[in-house]
Amino acid sequence: MSAGVAQRAAFGRALVELAERYPKMVVLDPDVCPSTQTSLFRAAYPDRFYPMGIAEANAVCVAAGLASCGFVPWVSAFAVFLATRAADQVRVSVAHARQPVKLNGAYGGLPSGRGGATHSAVEDIAVMRTMPNMIVLTPADAAEAGAMVELAMETSAPVYLRTMRCELPDLFGVGWRPDIGRAVELAPGDDVAILSEGMMSARALEAAAILRRDGIAARVLHFGTIKPFDAEAVAKAARECGALVSVENHSRIGGLGSAVCEAAAESDPAVVVRLGFPDCFLESGDDERIFSRYGLDPAGIAAGAREALRRNGSDVSIRRAT
């Protein structure tokens, strides 16, 4: 896996590429366009680009008003400010009013350019997935981020697309077209299942390679959609593997791990180890050091999988030997 394109760049390019096909698409920018790369759209389609100033609440409701008159507005801003500062505006004027507003939550999770506690969006998935009518997408790489911009344009539902600031390894090639609501199996296996979202899925694959060296076959399921949630993929993994580990660039409260537990508990209860950020605010510092501190690197994910196996009573080495 080579280091690929940053999702923000893929997002910005996808907007430009889709602009001709969707003449009612417009972009609203709460003064972060160089950061979220909607500056590409500004350069290409200045008449369809609205600088909104540093006012996310106003931007979200203006988008709802535009949408009610036939436009399809993207509001691209830092995830933390869209999902928490403008949460009520998203809830009432977008989700409740069922307006086709598309939200790009840029700088999802930890990688915020070392912004620390205030800029790390580790609650956004939890907030967005509780909103009725909202689709929540967590692409794994640049190609999937670009493809999901197109998927967002094809649905009349409100969409929250969570993109990463940092460059990410390529998992899916150009032309990849995911299905909304469907988890993707990245690696087969039935000893343990690693269920991951967004940028964690590349790490989950690396963790599966580590486990394979020890004779453990780990299934890797990428959840590029958090809502609607592929509960059936969880139930199947629970039945077939018995031990699950969820991995998310998000708080362990309310995100993918919670969705996995909810789905498993209501179908095929299984041991679940949830990897993610604990109930604390993050700090400034190097992203990878912080990810590693919380076990969100390949070694940490592999350790989480072993913990799930141990708690499930699986003695994989013995089973493999016999």
Partner 1 sequence: MNESCYLDGQASLEGLTVLAGRARRLILEMTHRAGMGHTGGSLSEVELLVALYFGGMRSIDPSRPDRPDRDRFILSKGHATPGYYSVLALRGYFSPELLETFDELGTPLQAHPDMHKLPGVDMSSGSLGQGLSCGIGMAMAAMADPSLGSFRTFVLMGDGELQEGQVWEAAGYAGALRLPGIVAIVDCNAVQLSTATGPFQAPDAVAARFRAFGWDASGVDGHDLAALMPAIASARERAGRGPVVLVATTVKGKGVSFMEGRCEWHGKAPDDGELARALAELGS
- Beta carbon nearer to partner 1, 66 or 110: 66
The binder of partner 1 chosen from 6, 26, 103, 202 (CB under 8 A): 26
52 interacts with partner 1 by CB under 8 A: yes
- Beta carbon nearer to partner 1, 57 or 253: 57
57 interacts with partner 1 by CB under 8 A: yes
- Beta carbon nearer to partner 1, 24 or 212: 24
- Beta carbon nearer to partner 1, 46 or 313: 46
267 interacts with partner 1 by CB under 8 A: no
Size of the site for partner 1 (CB under 8 A): 30
Stretch that binds partner 1, among 58-66, 108-116, 172-180, 312-320 (CB under 8 A): 58-66
70 interacts with partner 1 by CB under 8 A: yes
Q: Do residues 27 and 38 make contact, with C-beta atoms less than 8 angstroms apart?
A: yes
- Beta carbon nearer to partner 1, 134 or 270: 134
Residue 189 is given by DSSP the state: -
- Residue 283's Cβ-count burial label (10 Å; 0-12, 13-18, 19+) is exposed
For residue 162, give every residue at least 6 positions away whose Cβ sits within 8 Å of its Cβ, in sequence order, or none.
79, 105, 108, 109, 121, 124, 125, 136, 137, 138, 139, 198
CA torsion sign for 122, 93, 15, 151 is positive
The site string for partner 1 over 87-116 (x = CB under 8 A, - otherwise) reads -xx-xxx--xxx------------------
The binder of partner 1 chosen from 50, 78, 176, 291 (CB under 8 A): 50
Stretch that binds partner 1, among 67-75, 171-179, 221-229, 302-310 (CB under 8 A): 67-75
Burial 65-87 (b: 16+ CB within 10 A, else e): ebbeeebbbbbbbbbbbbbebbb
Work out how close the CB of 47 gets to partner 1 at its nearest, in angstroms, rounded to a whole number: 8
The binder of partner 1 chosen from 44, 55, 157, 235 (CB under 8 A): 55
For residue 179, give every residue at least 6 positions away whose Cβ sits within 8 Å of its Cβ, in sequence order, or none.
none
Of 198, 174, 175, the C-alpha closest to 186 is: 198
Stretch that binds partner 1, among 45-53, 124-132, 220-228, 294-302 (CB under 8 A): 45-53
Quote helix, strand, coil % in the chain, to nearest 5: 40, 20, 35
Give the interface with partner 1 as residue ranges (CB under 8 A). Answer: 26, 47-48, 50, 52-53, 55, 57-58, 60-71, 73, 88-89, 91-93, 96-98
